[in-house]
Amino acid sequence: MIFNFTLDDINYFFNSETLKLFQDFIPGDVENNEKTLFINEFNKLHKVTLIISNTCNGKCIYCYEKGGNFGRKNTLMNRDDADKIIDYILRNFKSIGNVNFFGGEPTLNFDLIKYIVNRLDGNIDVDVFSIVTNGTLIDDYMITFFDKYHFKITISLDGPDYIHDKLRLNCSYNNIMKIINKIRITSIGDLLELNCTYTKYHQEHITYNELNNFFQNLGIKYYISDVVTEIDWLKLDSDNSLDLTISEKNIDSTFEKIYKNSINRNLSTYACAVIDVLIEPIYFDKFCYDIEKEFNAFFDYNGNKVPCSRFIDKNLANDYIDVINSKNNDTCLNCWARGLCKDCTADYVLKMKKEPYLDKNCFKMKLYEYALIKLVSIYKDTPEKFQIIIDNYLSNF
């Protein structure tokens, strides 16, 4: 399928199969290119996520994990289960991209973090260790350990104190900021990231620009993600026109942030997908590769392998999840952005929708279109800016 658009009387054609962009339509060039699929090479596990604790000391109002324990008995992963997981990994893979410690609150089981890291270190190549945490239990000893093994640390921070303290109980804004400021002066300060869960409460008490400015002023990499909840006063409105307007602005700001080499990056996935495909045209035939067993592994606190944390307390067949994660439906098969499109499969499985698209006029397609045309217009009008965007993206992302 060919997606075409015109800028200042110049025609552009995007081949949705080969993911190649042409300024002039040359059928032979388009048809003879082969699709490059995203495949796993070199027996590498891209990411392994370990839920080493299903209990949490925080009381986030919107928590989809039901207080961190997924509706089950509070449990910490033990060494026996950890050894089984590590033995499985060492038998089947030569390297790992990311070993991620997750919860609940993973620092409640810090001794096991040390044990797992020490077992893996020297026995298999690991690009990076990472942890997602509320930060409340991190002390100087933990920071020294994380620094030694070059951990990428993601701390949950939902905005200014009057927002954060309302939503994340037992996770005082002032205490979190003290921990953040200790980490940022270490050698892993550049690896520190913040994650904000955006809710309806945010919409009613702080503008999106004000929230972005708050994080930018901290000078730390950050991400803002929409809340997953059924709580009415926290659940976001599903007004697609509002989503579209915000997303288009985010696409514009993403290109500007990359151009300015900003370390603060709440980046649009649509903008990044377009840059990715112009740099290296890899075709993604799944919505989410995080749940594909050939690429990633996710283990719960009992050592069981599951697709992702969102499915831990759900009795769902893997075949059903695989069907939802594929793009083999009529709408997607006829969409020019099929090879670019990524999404959270769990959102659709758990909400009992049939496929990860809204309707035949899926707004995601419009955002990919907007991002592609925007980037091409930058290339056409200011080629030097376009080159800086590409160079900075390759250097930092």
Rounded to two decimals, the pTM is 0.76
Lowest mean pLDDT among 107-116, 241-250, 348-357: 348-357
Tell me which of 69 and 45 has the higher pLDDT.
45
DSSP 1-40: -EEEEEETTEEEEEETTTTEEESS--HHHHHTPPP-B---
3-state secondary structure of 88: helix
Q: What angle do CA 168, 172, 175 make, to 5 degrees?
A: 140
At 197-223, the pLDDT tens digits run 999 999 999 998 899 899 989 999 888
What's the rounded mean pLDDT across residues 44-57? 91
Tell me which of 99 and 29 has the higher pLDDT.
99
pLDDT recorded at residue 132: 97
Q: Describe the chain by its helix, strand, coil percentages, rounded to 5.
A: 45, 20, 40
200 to each of 142, 206, 237, how far by Cα in Å? 34, 10, 7
Q: What is the mean pLDDT of the chain?
A: 84
Tell me which of 232 and 24 has the higher pLDDT.
232
Residue 34 has pLDDT above 60, yes or no: no
pLDDT recorded at residue 199: 93
DSSP 274-335: HHHHHHS--B--BS-STT-TTTEEEE-TTS-B-S-GGGTT----HHHHHHHHB--SHHHHT-
DSSP 228-242: ----TTTSPP--HHH
Sorted by sequence, the CB contacts under 8 Å of residue 312 that are 6+ apart come out as 51, 54, 70, 300, 306
Single-letter residue type at 218: L
Residues linked to residue 305 through DSSP beta bridges, in sequence order: 299
* Token pair recorded at residue 388: 């800086």
Structural domains for the chain: 44-311 (3.20.20.70)
Lowest mean pLDDT among 30-34, 114-118, 309-313: 30-34
What's the rounded mean pLDDT across residues 299-320? 72
At 357-389, the pLDDT tens digits run 545 567 788 899 999 999 999 999 999 999 999
At 137-184, the pLDDT tens digits run 999 999 999 999 999 999 999 999 999 999 999 999 999 999 999 999
pLDDT recorded at residue 26: 47
The band of 80, judged by pLDDT with boundaries at 50, 70 and 90, is very high
Residue 196 has pLDDT above 80, yes or no: yes
* Token pair recorded at residue 110: 């810090």
d(CA 30, CA 169): 56
The crossing angle, in degrees rounded to 10, of helices 383-396 and 240-259 is 90
Sorted by sequence, the CB contacts under 8 Å of residue 115 that are 6+ apart come out as 79, 82
At 224-265, the pLDDT tens digits run 888 878 788 998 875 544 466 678 888 998 999 899 876 555
pLDDT recorded at residue 32: 45
What's the rounded mean pLDDT across residues 116-125? 96
Lowest mean pLDDT among 32-36, 41-45, 186-190, 307-311: 32-36
Single-letter residue type at 393: Y
Which stretches of the chain are assigned E, i.e. beta strand? 2-7, 10-15, 20-22, 44-51, 59-60, 95-102, 125-133, 152-156, 168-169, 193-198, 221-226, 296-299
pLDDT recorded at residue 244: 66
Q: What angle do CA 114, 102, 213 make, to 5 degrees?
A: 115
3-state secondary structure of 100: strand
